[in-house]
Amino acid sequence: MLVPLYAGPEGPVAVLTERRGDLSRHAGEISFPGGRQDEPDEDLRDTALREAREEIGLEPSAVELIGALPPVATFVTGYRIHSFVGWIAPGHAWIPQESEVESVVEASLSELARGFASKRLWRRGVAIRTPTYTVGGHLVWGATARIVASLLERLAP
């Protein structure tokens, strides 16, 4: 998974996606661009860059990988998400992959931090208490919220 960041007026801005509402997995959720390896031996950094190109039209050559975050596991699907932080120039014209991405969401890290709350959400008839971030009317929760928390923790003064 790629965590694209660029310099904005309030500090770093993260680029996320809103997944299409008709997908079989994670429908309508906010996430960073990412997906599975095409080949078992594909370098995970290459996977992250390839998926960002496929999902939002971000060319790998436009990304400077600057670090990695600790892996995060998903509870429902059992995936282990490896996130790589990439620095990009501002002003990209995003090209959302029509079959997977509803829209691209850009949010400053300070805006995300201000939108933090611990909420009780209902998923599959079960109440869970989880960290969330609300930004621009979008609710970031689950593995993506844990990735945001990890990023904010590492960038805190």
Please count the structural domains in the chain. 1
Q: Could you give phi then psi for residue 85, rounded to 5 degrees?
A: -90, 130
Angle at 53 between CA 99 and CA 93, to 5 degrees: 90
Give the pLDDT confidence score for residue 157 in this predicted structure: 67
Q: Provide the residue type at 24 as one letter.
A: S
pTM, entire model:
0.91
Which 3 state secondary structure label does DSSP give 27? coil
Query: How many Å apart are CA 114 and CA 110, to the nearest integer?
Result: 6
Nearest alpha carbon to residue 1 among 122, 98, 142, 137: 142
**CATH number (domain holding residue 18):** 3.90.79.10
Domain membership of residue 95 as a residue range = 2-155
Chunked into runs of 10 residues, the chain (157 residues) has average pLDDT values of 96 94 68 85 93 97 97 81 97 93 95 92 76 93 94 88
The β-bridge relationship of strands 101-108 and 116-123 is unpaired
